[in-house]
Every structure is written in C-alpha cells, then in structure tokens.
Amino acid sequence: MEDFTWRVGGPQGGGIETAATLFARAVAKGGWWVATKREYHSNIMGRHSYLDVRLARKPVAAFREKVDMLVALDGETLARHLDEVRSGGVILYDPRVLELTVHKLPMLDHRVAEVLSERFGKLDPSLKDLLAAYVESGVQPLPYPFEEVADRIGAELGVPSLQARRTLNTIAVAASLHFLGFPLEPLLEALALQFRGKVLELNQKVAEAVYREEVPRLSFQLHLNGYEPGRVYLTGAQAAALGKLAGGLRFQTYYPISPATDESTYLEAHTAFTGADVAVVQTEDEIAAVTMAVGAALTGAKSATATSGPGFSLMAEGMGFAGMIEAPLVVTLYQRGGPSTGLPTRTEQGDLQFALRGGHGEYPRLVLASGDIEDAFLDAQKALAWAWRYQTVVVHLLDKFLASMAQSLPKEALRVLQLDGEKRLLPKREGLAPYERYAPSEDGISPFIPIGTPGGFYWMTSDEHDLEGHITEDVVLREYQMEKRMQKLKTAQEEIPLEDQYTLFRDGEVLVLGWGTVKGTLLEALDHLPGVGYLHLRLLWPFPKIADLLEGKRIVTVEHNYSGQLADLVQQETLKRVHHRVVKYSGRPITLDEAVEVLRAVLAKEAPERLVLRKGV
C-alpha cells in the first residue's frame, strides 16, 4: 500500500485516542510518515468520536474521504461510517454488536437514524442490515470479538478480566496490524513509548498473544518503510505551545475553552524544563485573560493568551486597549465552528474577518495563520517577536483541525528562529523624571519602557493621549498619535520578509489561494492537478501585496467558512476578481478527494462561482 488510512471509532472516553496514537506510533516505528485527525463531540464520555491515521511515504497533512480500514469499537460506529470505507477496504467489528438495531444506539442523532430507516426501508434496521450494506459496497467484514479476545488472553496470562479489558485498545491496534501483515516489533516499540512498567509488560504480552492467533490474509498488506530516527509526532496545540516557549514566552493567561485549552495546559505541565518556566494563570474570563496578559507585558514579560471564538469575542475590548497603549500582545486564536457557541469541537475558519476588524475604532494589528504543525511552531515565535517589534497586537490564527491534528515530522523542522528587533529604552542611571513613552519615531515605534525601569516613570491611558501618556482631546495630538500608531503597519509590511507573508508553491493558469489549514490538503491536491497553482497566505494583515501575482489568472479561494472571507479580503485588497470561492462550513475539514474533485471541475470550466463542500461525518 502506498496510501493508507486507518480509522477507529467508538465512544468518547473509551480510549480510542490512545488507540490512534498507538497505531500512529507503531506505523511510524515502521518508517511511515503519519498524520492523525480527531473528530469528537462536545461531551465528556459516551458520544461518538473517531480518529483517522493516514500513512504516506513522505510527510503528510491531508486526509482522504474514504478509509481503507475501519475499526468499530461499538455499534454506533457501524451506523455512522457507512459509505466511509472504500470499496476493497475492510471493517473490523465485534460481532456482538450485530444483535443491536439502529434505535438501540442511544447517542445516534435522530437524523442519521431516519436516513438509515429510509435507506433500508424499515423502521428500525438492524446492524446486520448495515453490515450487509458495507459488504454490498465492496467492504470486507472482519468480525473480531474484542472483549472475548481480551478475556481469552487474560485467562492465558492469568490476568483478571477487568484488567485484560483495559487493553482493548491495544488489542484493536494489534489486530489491525496483524490483519495487515505488519510486523509485531514496531508495535512493541510503540507500546514502550506509551506505557511503563507492569502496564507496558501486560500490553506487550497482549499484543504478542494477538499476533499468535491465525488471521486471514487481506488483499492488501502494510510493509515496513525503513525506519529513520529523528522524527517527532505532535499536535498543533503542542507545536504552538512549544513555539511560544521557543519565542521566549514568560506569561500566559487563559480561560478554559475548546479547543484552545490544550495549549495552556501543556505549558502548565512543562514549567520544570529549562527556559519553560512560564507563569500560567487561569483567569475568571477572557476579558481578564487578555487584560492580565497586557498588564504583564507592560513590565517587559513576553505575554500571550490563547482562546477560541467565544473567548475572542470577549477579548476584542482588551485587544483595542493593547493597541491604544501600544502594549505587545499575542492572542492565539483557535477557531472553531461559530457563530455563538456554534460547534465547540469542530473546525472552521470563520473568524478571519473578525480577527482583522474586531473591536471598536482602529489600531494596528498583525494577523498571521498557520497551515500545519511546523507552521504552528514557527508562527508562534514570529507572533511574539512581531508583537514586541511593533508593540501591538498580533493575532495568531489556528483552528480546531490543526489544534487536535497530529503529524510526524523531522525534528529539524522545529527550528528556533533568531528574531529580534525590539526597541527598548536604555534606563537613565540617575535622577527621577518622567519618561516620554510615546516619543516621536519615524517608523511609529517608540522605545519600549517596561514598568519598573529605574530613573523615571510614565503614564498610559486608554484615552487618546499626548507624548507623555496623559489624556488629550487636542486635534493635532490626536492626529499625530493615530498616525504614529498606524505607521507601524506600514513599517511591518516593509520589514516582514516576503516568505513570511506568503508562499507561491506553484504558479498556474488556475491559481488557488488559501490560508491556514487548507494548506496540507491543497499541497497534496496539486500532485493530481497539473495546471493548477497554489498561493498560500501566511500573513493576513497587513495584507501582502499580491495583486501582480493574480494578474490574468483564474482565481479560486478555498477555505472553511460560509461566505468566503478570504475571497472578500482578496477582492478588497487586490481589486482582482475571485472567480470561484470554494467553502465548507460543516465543521469537518476538507478532504484531499474533495479538493481534487472541485478543482478538476474548475479546470474543466464546469464550476459555478460558489462551491460548497459537504463530505465527512
């Protein structure tokens, strides 16, 4: 197999994440590059959740529409993923679930149950009916009694049933790999990454026992791909947290919110590492999170906060404050489905225009977006550096897809950047007199003076102010300060290297424009689309000067939102027409197959202006 996707589905809290991590590590130990995506409900336990692990011979960040192997750890998975396994693929399931009917799946959405009723022409189809449909579509059924196997192996090893059943995830992974003809050794190594001591011993014995049993050979097999050391496997939220540390973060605030919290809790858990001794404060709300980060920044501490849509709405006020008093501030925004509470655990890129414009009045802000794990690490460093260089707000956009996605990549990809350029006042040695915090400067940047700098003091106010930071409503001073602040945007646009603003991965008569997490999908789609180019936008504000690149092209934007927010931005900033806007707002990421299909239609001049993608469960 050159391209393989393994999917595991089951109830939330049942350990399917452990299973996916184990599978990903096992195949990675066998030399494959992997990417894992995670779909879950806003729920603690019980509701349906699933993960895809995709393998490839080169680094991968895109996901397929159909999977090669589905492991159903419960009956509901059978019901939800019908038509999601490719013809010729396999489904591994516990035959006991076949006794169930659709209406006996308490967490299944009514809509899905109704669709199934209609499809099978009965009020309450049984899971046997569903399985027959899988088979009809060319999927090979592999009954595998997970719990029975656990009990049997438990008895063999002299382990009580309850304890043996805790290894169900290992059994599911081991069985999958065994069916695929994949050697045992990498799995044992992967287990050693995951467990320690007695638990490791038990899990390894269980895996060995699974491998001792005879299983039918599948029509496709998964071979080793030549292991190379020096690779890491981590999520977007972890990469962003590490990037912040590499960028010198000292103070982080947050209010719990999905999917942003993972970043802050990672930081809280790793303060013992050298250079990672960050003060992390959980605040009462996001208003406090953003304003507390501003307070810390004023003393000279590199500060940031991380949130998702609803929290970002509350932060609009504090961000304007930072912009007005010229405080360096990084806001890491993990977008999720909106509006309002929306889809807390599903992906969306619906906050672009809000990130650019949110808040009253005008102040300079920089907005950058990460496309993958490597970007998340590098961008977090840039965000901090730019916030301090320009003494203003930098919004770093990620989304739920990237936050929870994990990717394997070479360790060298996580480069520590040498970014500097902060202007800081040299303190006076003697005397005591006010500092001019807003001293005139051609580039708009006055030297930064941390509160606590000896020799003086200054004032700051969220009101319009004079050079000393006192309130003023004077027309000349108002114009002067407004122009000084906004000048920083021009300076940033001139200073930020073009490669940090955008990347033209390939030129083409049809030119696709994307931002954020469509990157991995579109880059792989290019392999299937001669004649199609891809321009990936990294900096969204100040908006890069890309009009010349668009000249004479058929322009297509691809993004995860309803209206095509990038398309509007491109048209506004370049005065070029966007010919097709491809959007997806189901909360599920765009698959490789969808991207290829829709762009083929564009190439064939068979596509309307607006194209909505709807695949995924």
Partner 1 sequence: MLELKLADYKAEKQPDWCPGCGDYGILSALQMALFELRKDPSQTAVFSGIGCSAKTPHYLNVYGVHTLHGRVLPVAQGAKLANPHLTVVAVGGDGDGLGIGAGHFVAAGRRNVDMLYILYDNEVYGLTKGQAGPTLGFGEKTKSLPKPNPQGRINPLLLAFAAGYTWIGRGYAYDVKGLKELIKEGLSHKGLAFLHVLQPCPTYNDLHTKEWFAPRLYKLKDEGYDPHVPEGLPPEELDRKMAQFQEKAAEWGERIPIGVFWKAEVPTFEERLRAYLPRYPEVYPALGQREPLDLEGLLKEFAL
Of the two residues 158 and 230, which places its CB atom closer to partner 1 in the complex? 230
* Cα–Cα dist 613/79, whole Å: 22
* Cα–Cα dist 587/259, whole Å: 13
- Binders in 352-411 for partner 1, by CB under 8 A: 408, 411
- Closest among 114, 129, 131 to 70, alpha carbons compared: 131
**DSSP of 436-454, one letter per residue?**
-TT---TTS-PPB--TT-T
How far apart are CB 422 and partner 1 at their closest, in Å?
Answer: 10
**What element of type H or E holds 7?**
strand 4-11
How far apart are CB 207 and partner 1 at their closest, in Å?
Answer: 18
How far apart are CB 123 and partner 1 at their closest, in Å?
Answer: 49
Among 104, 152, 270, 600, binds partner 1 (CB under 8 A): 270
Show the binding pattern over residues 156-195: x = contacts partner 1 (CB under 8 A), - = does not. -------------------------------------x--
How far apart are CB 331 and partner 1 at their closest, in Å?
Answer: 14
Show the binding pattern over residues 221-260: x = contacts partner 1 (CB under 8 A), - = does not. --------x-xxxx---x---x--xx-x-xx-x-------
| 315 scored as a contact of partner 1 (CB under 8 A) | no
| 273 scored as a contact of partner 1 (CB under 8 A) | yes
| 470 scored as a contact of partner 1 (CB under 8 A) | yes
* Cα–Cα dist 237/250, whole Å: 18
Stretch that binds partner 1, among 452-460, 508-516, 571-579, 599-607 (CB under 8 A): 452-460
How far apart are CB 296 and partner 1 at their closest, in Å?
Answer: 4
Q: Tokens 């879950």 sit at which residue?
A: 40
* Cα–Cα dist 207/157, whole Å: 12
Among 55, 460, 523, 539, binds partner 1 (CB under 8 A): 460
Instruction: State the number of CA atoms in the 13 A half-sphere of 483 facing the CB.
Output: 9
251-254 vs 303-308, strand pairing mode: parallel
Gap between the terminal Cα atoms of the chain:
25
How far apart are CB 118 and partner 1 at their closest, in Å?
Answer: 45
Show the binding pattern over residues 418-437: x = contacts partner 1 (CB under 8 A), - = does not. -------------xx-x---
- Closest among 364, 327, 273 to 462, alpha carbons compared: 327
Among 291, 335, 446, 521, binds partner 1 (CB under 8 A): 291
* Cα–Cα dist 335/323, whole Å: 22
How far apart are CB 270 and partner 1 at their closest, in Å?
Answer: 6
| 458 scored as a contact of partner 1 (CB under 8 A) | yes
Angle between helices 373-390 and 236-246 (to 10 degrees): 40
Of the two residues 28 and 131, which places its CB atom closer to partner 1 in the complex? 28
For residues 523 and 543, the answer to whether their CB atoms sit within 8 Å is no
| 472 scored as a contact of partner 1 (CB under 8 A) | no
| 539 scored as a contact of partner 1 (CB under 8 A) | no
Of the two residues 191 and 293, which places its CB atom closer to partner 1 in the complex? 293
**DSSP of 272-330, one letter per residue?**
TSTT---EEEE-SSHHHHHHHHHHHHHTT--EEEEEEHHHHHHHHHHHHHHHHHT--EE
365-369 vs 539-541, strand pairing mode: antiparallel
Among 129, 151, 208, 268, binds partner 1 (CB under 8 A): 268
Among 129, 147, 151, 317, binds partner 1 (CB under 8 A): 317
Of the two residues 300 and 544, which places its CB atom closer to partner 1 in the complex? 300
Among 171, 206, 240, 278, binds partner 1 (CB under 8 A): 278
CA 515 to the chain's CA centroid: 13
- Binders in 97-136 for partner 1, by CB under 8 A: none
For residues 235 and 404, the answer to whether their CB atoms sit within 8 Å is yes
| 463 scored as a contact of partner 1 (CB under 8 A) | yes
| 265 scored as a contact of partner 1 (CB under 8 A) | no
Sign of CA dihedral 85, 87, 90, 91: positive
Of the two residues 153 and 387, which places its CB atom closer to partner 1 in the complex? 387
* Cα–Cα dist 268/331, whole Å: 17
**What element of type H or E holds 580?**
strand 580-583
- Binders in 21-40 for partner 1, by CB under 8 A: 25, 28-29
| 325 scored as a contact of partner 1 (CB under 8 A) | yes
How far apart are CB 461 and partner 1 at their closest, in Å?
Answer: 4
